[in-house]
Amino acid sequence: MSESSETLKPMLIGGEWIAQQDAAFASINPATGARNYLISAASDAQVDQAVDAAWQAQRQPAWRDMLPHQRAAILRRIADGIEQHAELLARLQMIENGKVWAECKTQVASAAATFRYYAGVCETLGAEVTPARGNYLSMTHYEPYGVVVAITPWNSPLTMEAQKVAPALAAGNAVILKPSEVTSSPALALGRIALEAGLPPGILNVVTGLGATVGRRLVEHSGVRMVSFTGGTASGRAIAHAAAEKLMPVALELGGKSPHIVFDDADQDAAIDGVIGGIFEGSGQSCVAGSRLYVQRGIAASFMEKLVARAGRLNVNLPDAAGAQMGPIASFGHRDKIESMVESAKRDGAQVLLGAQRPDGDALQAGAFYRPTILGGLARDAQVVREEIFGPVLCALTFDDEDDLIDQANDSVYGLASGIWTADYRRAWRVAKRLEAGSVWINTYKQLSISTPFGGFKQSGIGREKGVSGLRLYQQSKGIYFGM
């Protein structure tokens, strides 16, 4: 990076770049422990300024009356800009959350594709003429909420920001993007790209700061009409409470403790690859991570032996090292939390089948690294089985039959995702329908498409992002009647 550790990154409000030294916070590279730069933190007055700027821009004819194909053209230019700045965006994510370089590049491409997808939806999506029940013509008209706040997490900022900002803009809103304090820079870069693409000033504002202060102020602000949040369940619950006080709609994509299921007739080599990718990709810091493994009892011993051997060969390394498969945990504090939960599980009798420690090697000692970890000998009510760890920790359990499996897999407050490996597609269909999860993968895992709605059951969230409905999420419907 050309920026020094003393560089202060400004926020984007109303098309202007505003630096705020007071309460500025440091961005830390989790692979090295070095400080990247300082990030501005918005004051209450600047939050008010961002909301005012968003409303002023959203009400201007330049945006309010822009035709869908014209709005779509801007979204496509944003996609072009993301692709043109792919190296920069990938590097910003890598040095802030430690994802390996290959995954960062993939997520940049995904962000660009998301803007292109919603450009297409924006240009082609129509409203409905509804069946009349009298002498009138009735139709449904869709309108933006006005000002939407998008709050994004640190684990996959590039994809999450595109997944929220693109449909909210396509729907006609002005957006205030509040990125995680761990990964602020990709959002700031996206704001600059959007301005260069011709997005009117104030339609996308990027306000940085801590979630407990800036995030809360935005959620509670009287001028904010809708909030879209991806993050932990506890934070989602607090946002839902604030939204209830305002009677404000929210979209919440929250935590998970996803069951990954292997039946005795599965292709074991393919299943092992799926299980490893499902929990160790991104160092396990994924809401859909397959963190609860259920293996049918008859094959459990042989399957686990092969799984442990293969997972033990994963290349844990600096994120830009050749062949790196796992980088560091995104922050030192989060690694401490993961270690604490694993140590607690060991005290409660968990068997360490792999890992449960920091890696050796001088090159990694300064970073927040943690080895791929597999725990066995667990009771279904163990803390590590029931609580989201959000790290590279796999809890391995067994099951006897379908009923036993469903009883265990659904015994969770979460319901975000799940995976099934079996050669019997009739069984896969039966089990998929009985699992309480928003996404079910059969003989694959973590396949995600921007065209397919995504969200959770139970405490894993409210609402569905992605797909055509992901644009409607950011609109409200109005019935219009013409007397005949």
Query: Which of the following CATH numbers is that of domain 8-254+460-483: 3.30.465.10, 3.30.390.30, 2.40.110.10, 3.40.605.10?
Result: 3.40.605.10
Rounded Cα gap, residues 110 and 63, in angstroms: 26
Q: By C-alpha distance, which of 392, 350, 345 is closest to 370? A: 392
pLDDT of residue 2: 52
Reading the block at residue 344, the tokens are 């607690």
User: What is the tally of helices (H) and strands (E) in the chain?
Assistant: 16, 23
Which parts of the chain have pLDDT scores under 50?
1
Catalytic residue among 96, 103, 161, 253: 253
pLDDT of residue 361: 85
pLDDT of residue 146: 98
pLDDT of residue 6: 78
Identify whether 143 is a catalytic site residue.
no
Q: How far apart are the first and last CA of the chain?
A: 66
Q: Are 112 and 84 in contact (CB under 8 A)?
A: no
pLDDT tens string 105-137: 999 999 999 999 999 999 999 999 999 999 999
Helices (H), 17-156: 44-58, 61-64, 68-84, 86-97, 101-124
What angle is formed at CA 239 by the lines to CA 234 and CA 241, rounded to 5 degrees?
Answer: 95
Q: By C-alpha distance, which of 162, 202, 181 is closest to 81? A: 162
Same fold, 8-254+460-483 and 259-442: no
For residue 350, what is the DSSP state?
-
What angle is formed at CA 352 by the lines to CA 351 and CA 356, rounded to 5 degrees?
Answer: 145
Q: Are 267 and 423 in contact (CB under 8 A)?
A: yes
Rounded Cα gap, residues 119 and 466, in angstroms: 13
pLDDT of residue 3: 72
Site of tokens 């140590």: 343
Percent of the chain that is helix, strand, coil (3-state, to 5): 40, 20, 40
259-442 under CATH 3.40.50.740, yes or no: no
| DSSP secondary structure string for all residues of 231-275 | S-HHHHHHHHHHHHHHT--EEEE-----EEEE-TTS-HHHHHHHH
| Domain parsing of the chain, residue ranges | 8-254+460-483, 259-442
302 class by beta-carbon count within 10 Å (0-12 exposed, 13-18 middle, 19+ buried): exposed
